[in-house]
């Protein structure tokens, strides 16, 4: 990661201010400054970062309608669908495709799904993601509706065995997809990998890395991570699937933490200004955003020079400090100002 120096001025009042800087180690895309949270997605294929450090993504096929609401509360979200063919709604961690799961750390999740009435198609609930090099689509299915992949069915699913994770048995099933939509194009070939819980559940803790390791012990090769997210998906071959689901508890953790909220750094204000490490580039912008997505203040700066960001009128609270080059977010920092 490149480095820059950010010079921040603080004005002393009758109380001492404290700030903690949290470094975002994930690669994130540019965020539209007009987006506010809760963010409502209506039948649109879209994705982007959230102020709390997680990432949302919606993908759907026509016909039908899907409404996804992302509140920026951990990795929680809710989704309603009507007369759909297929959609995948998910919130969690997004990566830059340069590291494998074991290079990043140990993945776990805490989830709870509250299903509404579902009709006219299947539905999957659990953990979802992709790797690249090789391209692999993976599922940890904690619950399902109407139909689940089974070894030997007409869709070409192959059984790889049974694994035990978190005290429960999961059937491991793979399927080779040919000429299908993926994160790398609309007509690609790639395998799908499923861990399917034999005794379904609507909530609990999931040792995601244990699934990764046990898949690899079965000869299933994974690549560099694109994402690890909490997912709700539904499919209807008759284009008539309808239903709803709320993710009422949602966390994806790496080494027991959300990667964007790591070691706190205490700021010394005695000198009136403080040098903070970060990124280096040329012209860019710094934007201070509230955790509801509201833009508080923005400045343009040559990132090769230490910019000055005025904090005189900033109220105590939690903020997102976003650095952009050519409109693309290159780093995001979370601030707690007391």
Q: Which residues are the active-site residues? A: 137, 233
Furthest C-alpha separation in the chain: 73
What is the rounded distance in angstroms from the CA atom of residue 53 to the CA atom of residue 289?
13
The angle subtended at Cα 19 by Cα 321 and Cα 22, nearest 5°, is 55
H helix intervals, 84-207: 101-104
- Bin 120: left if φ > 0, else alpha if -120 < ψ < 50, else beta: left
321, 286 Cβ separation under 8 angstroms: yes
CA 172 to chain centre: 24
Contacts of 174 (CB under 8 A, 6+ apart): 157, 158, 160, 191, 192, 193, 194, 220
Give residue for tokens 């299933």.
220
Going by C-alpha positions, the residue among 180, 203, 198, 200 that lies closest to residue 249 is: 203
Q: Is the separation of the CB atoms in 289 and 322 below 8 Å?
A: yes
Write down the residue that tokens 């990043």 correspond to: 104
Task: Say how far apart CA 177 and CA 166 lie, in whole Å.
Answer: 29
Pick left, alpha or beta for residue 326 (phi over 0 → left; psi -120 to 50 → alpha; otherwise beta). left
Alpha helices in the chain (DSSP H): 101-104, 208-217
Distance, C-alpha 108 to centroid of its chain: 13
Please state, as a whole number, how many other Cβ atoms lie within 10 Å of the Cβ of residue 277: 13
User: Cβ contacts of residue 324 below 8 Å, gap of 6+?
Assistant: 30, 284, 285, 286, 287, 330
């Amino acid at each position: 990661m490149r480095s820059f120096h950010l010079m921040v001025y603080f004005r002393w009042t009758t109380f001492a201010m404290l700030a903690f800087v949290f470094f975002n180690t994930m690669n994130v895309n540019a965020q539209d400054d007009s987006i506010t949270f809760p963010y409502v997605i209506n039948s649109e294929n879209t994705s982007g970062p959230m102020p709390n450090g997680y990432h949302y993504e919606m993908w759907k096929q026509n016909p039908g309608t899907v409404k996804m609401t992302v509140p920026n509360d951990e990795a929680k979200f809710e989704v309603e669908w009507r007369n759909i063919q297929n959609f995948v709604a998910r919130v969690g961690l997004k990566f830059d495709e340069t590291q494998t799961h074991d290079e990043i750390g140990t993945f776990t999740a805490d989830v709870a799904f509250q299903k509404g009435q579902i009709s006219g198609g299947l539905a999957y609930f659990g953990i979802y993601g992709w790797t690249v090099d090789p391209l692999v689509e993976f599922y940890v299915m904690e619950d399902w509706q109407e139909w689940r992949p089974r070894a030997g069915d007409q869709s070409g699913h192959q059984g790889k065995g049974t694994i035990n994770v978190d005290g429960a048995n999961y059937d491991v099933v793979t399927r080779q997809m040919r000429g299908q939509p993926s994160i790398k194009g609309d007509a690609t070939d790639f395998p799908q990998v499923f861990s399917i819980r034999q005794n379904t559940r609507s909530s609990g803790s999931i040792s995601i890395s244990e699934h990764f390791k046990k898949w690899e012990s079965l000869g299933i090769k994974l690549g560099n991570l694109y994402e690890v997210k909490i997912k709700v998906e539904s499919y209807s071959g008759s284009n008539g699937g309808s239903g709803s689901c709320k993710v009422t508890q949602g966390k994806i953790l790496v080494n027991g933490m959300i990667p964007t909220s790591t070691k706190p750094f205490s700021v010394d204000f005695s000198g009136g200004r403080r040098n903070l490490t970060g990124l280096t580039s040329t012209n860019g912008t710094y934007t201070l955003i509230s955790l509801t997505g509201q833009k508080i203040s923005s400045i343009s700066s040559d990132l090769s020079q230490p910019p000055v960001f005025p904090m005189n009128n900033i109220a105590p609270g939690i903020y997102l400090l976003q650095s952009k080059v050519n409109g693309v977010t290159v780093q995001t920092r979370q601030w707690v100002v007391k």
